[in-house]
Structure 1
Amino acid sequence: MPITVAAKESKVDVLVIGAGPAGLMSAFALARAGINVQIVDKRSKKVAAGQADGIQPRTTEVFKSYGLSDRLLKEGTQLHVAAFYNPSKSGGIELTDRVPDVTATDTNFPFEVTLHQGAIEDIFLDNMRDMGVEVSRPVIPTSLEVTEALVDDFDAYPVRVVLEHEDTETEDERRTEIVYAKYVLGADGAHSWVRKSMGIAMQGEQTEYVWGVVDLLPDTDFPDVRNRCAIHCNNGSCMIIPREDDKIRLYIQLDGKDVIDATGRVDKSKAGPEMILDVARKTLHPFTIKTPESYDWWTIYVIGQRVAERYTVHNRVFITGDACHTHSPKAGQGMNASMQDSYNLAWKLAHVLKGIAHPTLLQTYELERRRYAQDLIDFDKKFSKLFSGKPYSELNLDGVSHIEFLKAFQTFGGFTSGLGVQYTDSMIIDSKHQNLAQNIFIGRRLPPRPLLRAADCRPIDLHDLLVSDARFKLLVFTGDTHDPAQMARVREFAKQFSASGSFFAEFSSLDSMRKVFDIVPISSEKKETIMYNALPRILWSHWSKVLVDDIDMRGVTGSGKVYESLGINAAGAVIVVRPDGYVATIAPLDGVSHITSYFTTFMKAC
């Protein structure tokens, strides 16, 4: 029987349980925001190969906002084309169509990136290490208790977690740690111990669709092996995903009776990568694929589509990622949805822990992300049915046609890319003045746009300013500041902004306000006449933070039509952007009272 060493006790603001993509994004984002965070994982080693591998455009934008996209793009493979194959009249399959892999265009990253989960985790781990945060492993949580009497006490540590460390020198020793946390995040996967400990049920169902996955270095005459492929044939369906280092991933539809046991669970002993590849050969006919010397990774799964009944207990324990939703991986949403959950929650926790926001802000995590998960499951049911269904043919007139499948692929493009996700009105989404910027959708992420820095005419993208630093961005579209009447309106806005009664005047100092808000003026004045330092000083913190909507000196870069493309008229407007890049509300230049009303519902000046 193992010897248990006397328990060590500690306190931490946030304890993250699980070091997959969701957990690492949480710990990384919180650490970057200056929060005291601890992360543990039951695995002795991180993922080395396989698992999730697709990064959608919105997630790449988030990586960029953290300064992580260069490494992601360097190590990953970009997918620009989706090829479709369907049954040919002569038997086998033939090319039907090639279309853009990402149908959404309003992004600087109009493509998917594939990189195996272990390499993506490395990006977080290396950057966390630079901040002094390491994953403790192998660590097994054995007990989680919430003291209800303390959950409303801001200074309390109401969550008690017992951890068993198994990294001792001998197998006969086990070190116990008792952690008292203000908040706990369960990012511990589909079979989440945290979720089960809190008695949170998963709602949904398991489908009849069984799929095999295998990663390998291909030797094949299939011509689209370097493109994402959706293949339908009478033998079943297949998806090909190009990977880093010339590898590919094959998703192969299997006959469930061959691999499902009497309890309805997958029995991996009945299958293997060779069996999956044999089925793939029949699906790819008349093209061939040779047996590789080795397989990088493989698995078999039954598609389950479930959402947790709730995402939190007392707004002190939260679940994120696969712990709160499971679905098919073929639309490339799993890792993306998981990291976006964490991205949504992290800034809210940071604001509450810093005393900037009321704890009620945390209620919006479940409101926003559970609704998104439900939409994801609805989409996944439709997409999985189309993908797993038999193809249309002369012998199967009720089958899935290419036109039907392509329409779904393109219709759902905004959703799968992550660019079309829209949060509904809440305490942090107010769509009252949507008419002031008709092409900016309140509740969606702000799109990129080319601009110039007013001081030196250097081209810059609007997204370059949306750094994930846990601050709200106030984009003040000042209009044509060369017009004296318009400049007078801008000065009046600045006066009202800092006047008594304004939320911003309640901060103890300008520096303390700028720790919470980054204010960026964007003028429609021409570059030849604008004087960046003529704008009220409270509206910019640095000379590089004054922008102008114009083309550069050589007329090569920048559109000079940002106001027009975003639907902002000459009178100007203030666009409030949340720390996660989503448009929170819009106000006219004479609408300081609206901005004040918005922020006072959930924030506190400090």
Structure 2
Amino acid sequence: MAIKESKTDVLIIGAGPSGYMAATWLSRCGIPFRFIDKRSTEVFSGQADGLQCRSLEIFKSFSESCFDFATLDQSWKVANHMIEMCFWSPDEKGELVRNSRVADTIPNISRYTQSVIHQGNVEKWFEDSIQHFSEGKAKVERPILPVSIKIRDDVDLEDPQSHAVEVLVTKLDSESAKPEQYGQIANGLFRQFDGDQDKFYKDISDGNNEDDYEIIHAKYVLGSDGAHSWVRKQLGIDMEGEQTDFVWGVLDMVPITNFPDIRSRCAIHSKDSGSMMVIPRENDLVRLYIQLKEVERDPGTANEERPFSATDKHVKTKGRIDRSKITPESILKQAQNILKPFSFEMTDLSWYTGYQIGQRVSPKFSKQNRIFISGDACHTHSPKAGQGMNVSMQDTYNLGFKLALVCKGLAKQDILSTYESERLKVARDLIAFDHKFSRLFSGKPMIPNSDMLDGVDLDEFHSVYVEGNKFASGTIVDYEDSLLVSKENALSADADGCTMNKLASKVPIGRRLYSDRIISHADGRPIHMADRIPSDGRFRVLIFCGDVDKNKENLEQLHQFQDFMDSPKSYSKKFTPVNAFADSVIETITIHGSLRDKVEFFDFPEFTHPLDFKRRCDYWKLYAGVGSTYHEGQVDIYETYGIDKQKGAILVVRPDSHVAQVSEFSVDGLKQVDNYFNKFMIPQTENVLPEKAVTVDDTKRFVKPRLAV
């Protein structure tokens, strides 16, 4: 009997947050994919817990108001919102005191603040979203282990639709598929030290039946399989970086203490007992990151070969950390020493772990634009800055829509190369930040007015934290000029190095579009811009036509756009399949700068309120960017974006809400938009979809995939 073979567009290996984010994108865009994981069950406790502003924005972008099911915005509703950061350190007498309080999240950087909820919740919400978006067709297949992977040499790699990657997988037996564990209390020790997972890739049983194997032929493969990534190792990519001697313990528990700031986030440096971070969580839980004293090494592992790990300069002399010496009791004792003179006990322990601080990054994130790696497979670092889960998800938030566009035949395969160029820079910036932050956190503090001059300057630590908070939020990620980001017309840069165009002087090109409110012209309802451009795979062209009441020529100019929009050679027609919804690849939204009561809805040209195949009017393409709302105060998005109400501007926004281009409000500006899409989009004039029947019941069109349908 021959081994089973199958085909799919994308194969995702590894069901962590990074893999789930990719699967959410693909299901939202209607792309066939497979999603496998070697574990038999989901994660229900422990692991990552921090959600940064940008991640919460992304979750909301998959959670539209028209959906009748709970999606990822549950995270904001359920998580503990962290408001304040407190810094504790020794005073001149060496006694622990609070020396400052700051906002945990930089005010006004986002409409969300940093929050905490355990990873199991996040993964469950991802699963629910994927199930609904795919109408139950997609889910994680467990427990399945990849055995071999290769890019075929008998297919045309230049053909983006060729099934160029071949992956052999096998079902795991029930014993091998059990969640890895160490000891009797729920913990994450199995994942933290090199070599602990290697057994999964050494001893595939020779006795397996052919029925247990399958060859999956995929167009593209994504390895989101963690820090010990099997996919990365098969590609022969070594992580670059180092491991330190700093060992930290983690406890999730309910504290019993007289420490006054236990429900605020805290960074604590003790005089002689190390450092600790306090993370208040949901349901009375608190997470402690606690610096441990030197943890013993396992002498039996000294000088052992480590074929599945990056180079660790300490291994050959010291061996691996002895996990048996890391216990909840040992971690608690260290916490008690750090917090003296405050008392500290715990109850309801739910999880613990230990890890070594290290910073490593992969020099490559892909191979031949066919196999990609993401998340911990690309970068590992300390967890105290709350970046692991967040940057991992943002990796595949960057990649997911690109895979969807290519698999749908809408964009050239070349756009996939921008994944590595955009995300590798983010990973390197993360490693640099974490390297500095973790060492300042782990070092012995300088005592004020003492003779000790070689300790950590806590003023420096404080400033590094505050400055790093901008980076940690994920909101200032800045993608460089590429096929998908056009900075060529930008004329200025601000103090932070952002690339601007004077037509929209507060909109950094390459960064995510900051969200502020606009007002629906049809019904007066205020809505956040981000909620009007959700994650469904489509590009947006935002036309800011200025104050058309005070500048009548602006309305005339807008009417002149109609001929351009109607031309079969324009971006609005050329890149959309025949018989698809006109806005299903590139959506044009108009935001005027007049008061709603000064202009009428039908004063505007047809493309701002188009009719579909049933002659239904789309009322949600025309907005007022200024004015007074009935319940939410004043709105002026022109001021927010630095757009002149006479000159106007046109913004191109990518499916991941990053600003791709800014051009002038004119026909020439529209032609610049056209030139942007011409670089990488594929004309769809030969792609004819079935004609839509006027009698069809398509009431589910707001929830089903919208990309090129």
Amino acid at match of 2:605: P
Is 1:567 the counterpart of 2:642? The answer is yes
Q: Percent identity?
A: 42
When structure 1 is superposed on structure 2, of 203-212 and 316-325 the one drifting more is: 203-212
**What is the 5 A alignment of 1:403-552?**
403-431=459-487, 432-433=489-490, 434-482=501-549, 483-499=551-567, 501-506=569-574, 507=576, 509=578, 511-541=580-610, 542-552=618-628
Structure 1 distance, partners of 2:278, 2:624, is 44
Structure 1 contact 458–552 (Cα < 8 Å) conserved: no
In 1, Cα distance between equivalents of 2:398 and 2:84:
30
Match in the other structure for 2:182 = none
Contact 1:206–1:305 under 8 Å retained in 2: yes
CA contact (8 A) 1:210 1:301 kept: yes
Using the TM superposition, give the Cα deviation of residue 118 of structure 1 relative to its aligned residue in structure 2, in angstroms.
1.0
Alignment of 1:152 with 2:158, yes or no, is: yes
- 1:122 paired residue among 103, 108, 124: 124
- Per-residue deviation at 1:565? 2.2
Counterpart in the other structure of 2:454:
398
Distance across 2 between alignment mates of 1:531 and 1:155: 47
- Give the letter aligned to residue 151 of structure 2: V
Q: Quick check: 1:203 aligned with 2:240?
A: yes
Secondary structure of 1:481 counterpart = coil
**Aligned with residue 586 of structure 1, among 650, 659, 662:** 662
Residue correspondence of structure 1 range 157-236 to structure 2 within 5 A: 157-166=163-172, 175-234=212-271, 235-236=273-274
Matched residue, 1:271: 326
Distance 1:204 1:104 in 2: 34
Contact between 1:474 and 1:517, CA under 8 Å: does it hold in 2?
Answer: yes
CA deviation vs aligned residue, 1:372-416 (integer Å, no higher than 9, x gap): 101111111111121111112024233223321221111122210
Cα distance in 1 between the residues matched to 2:149 and 2:410: 28
Of 5-14 and 325-334, the range deviating more from structure 2:
5-14
**Correspondent of 1:101 among 93, 101, 104:** 104
1:260 to partner: Cα distance: 6.8
> For residues 478 and 9 of structure 1, what CA distance do their matches in structure 2 show?
54
The worse-fitting range, judged by mean Cα deviation, of 347-356 and 66-75 is: 66-75
1:299 partnered with 2:353:
yes
Q: What do residues 546-592 of structure 1 show as CA deviations (whole Å, max 9, x unaligned)?
A: 110233354x5243322122111121111111000100001112212
Provide closer, same or farther for how the CA distance between residues 309 and 148 of structure 1 changes in structure 2, counting only shifts above 3 A.
farther
Q: What displacement does 1:167 show? A: 5.6
Structure-1-length-normalised TM-score: 0.95
Asked whether the 8 Å contact 1:475–1:521 carries over to 2, the reply is: yes
Query: What amino acid is the match of 1:474?
Result: V
Report what 1:252 is aligned to: 290
Tell me: CA distance 1:510–1:95, structure 2 relative to 1, closer, same or farther (3 Å).
farther
The 1:388–1:137 alpha-carbon spacing in structure 2 relative to 1, beyond 3 Å, is same
Q: CA deviation at 1:257?
A: 4.3
| Aligned residue pair count | 599
- Report which stretch shifted further, 535-544 or 480-489: 535-544
Match of 1:66 in 2: 62
Residue 490 of structure 1: how far off its partner (Å): 1.3
Range that drifts further, 88-97 or 368-377: 88-97
- Map of 1:46 onto structure 2: 42
Structure 2 CA distance for partners of 1:458 and 1:383, relative to 1, 3 Å: same
CA contact (8 A) 1:66 1:467 kept: yes
Letter in 1 for 2:321: V
Task: Note if contact 2:572-2:586 (Cα within 8 Å) is conserved in structure 1.
Answer: no
Asked whether the 8 Å contact 1:19–1:39 carries over to 2, the reply is yes
Q: Please say which of residues 306-315 and 390-399 is displaced more in the overlay.
A: 390-399
Q: 1:107-131 CA distances to partner (integer Å, 9 max, x unpaired)?
A: 110x211111111111111222332
The AA in structure 2 aligned to 1:441 is: P
CA drift of 1:271 comes to 1.6
Indicate the larger mover: 218-227 or 441-450: 218-227
Alignment of 1:84-95 (within 5 A): 84-95=87-98
- Partner AA of 1:582 in structure 2: H
Query: For residues 544 and 429 of structure 1, what CA distance do their matches in structure 2 show?
Result: 27
Q: 1:465 to 1:94 in 2, by over 3 A?
A: same
Cα contact 2:296–2:321 (8 A) shared by 1: no
Q: Which moved more, 1:564-573 or 1:340-349?
A: 564-573
Does residue 308 of the first structure (1) align with residue 345 of the second (2)?
no
2:418 to 340, 364, 368: 364
Q: Cα 1:454–1:177, aligned 2, differ >3 Å: closer, same or farther?
A: same
Matched AA of 2:167: V
Give the secondary-structure state (helix, strand or coil) at the position aligned to 1:604: coil
* Residue identity opposite 1:562 in structure 2: I
Secondary structure at the residue paired with 1:400? coil
Alignment of 1:333-372 (within 5 A): 333-372=387-426
> Structure 1 pair 540/106, CA: closer, same or farther in 2 (3 Å)?
farther
Cα distance, 1:103 vs. partner? 1.4
Separation of aligned partners in 1, 2:51 and 2:544: 32
Deviation at 1:304, TM superposition (A): 1.7
CA deviation map 1:346-367 (0-9, x unaligned): 0000000111100001000001
Unaligned runs of 5+ in 2: 64-70, 177-204, 303-314, 491-500, 611-617, 685-709
Relative distance call for 1:390 and 1:183 in structure 2 (3 A) is: same
- Please list the CA deviations of residues 140-159 of structure 1 after superposition, one character each: whole Å capped at 9, or x if unmatched: 11010111342222332111
Distance in 1 of aligned mates of 2:595 and 2:331: 62
Q: Give unpaired runs (5+ residues) of structure 1.
A: none
* One-letter code aligned to 1:195: R
- AA partner of residue 232 (structure 1): H
Q: Distance in 2 between matches of 1:213 and 1:553?
A: 47
Q: Is contact 2:249-2:326 (8 Å) kept?
A: no
Pick the aligned partner of 1:240 from 278, 281, 300: 278
Are 1:379 and 2:379 counterparts?
no
Match 2:115 to one of 113, 116, 132: 113
Secondary structure of the structure 1 residue equivalent to 2:257? coil
Q: Please state how far the C-alpha of 1:498 moved relative to its aligned partner.
A: 3.6
Q: Give the CA deviation at 1:237.
A: 0.8
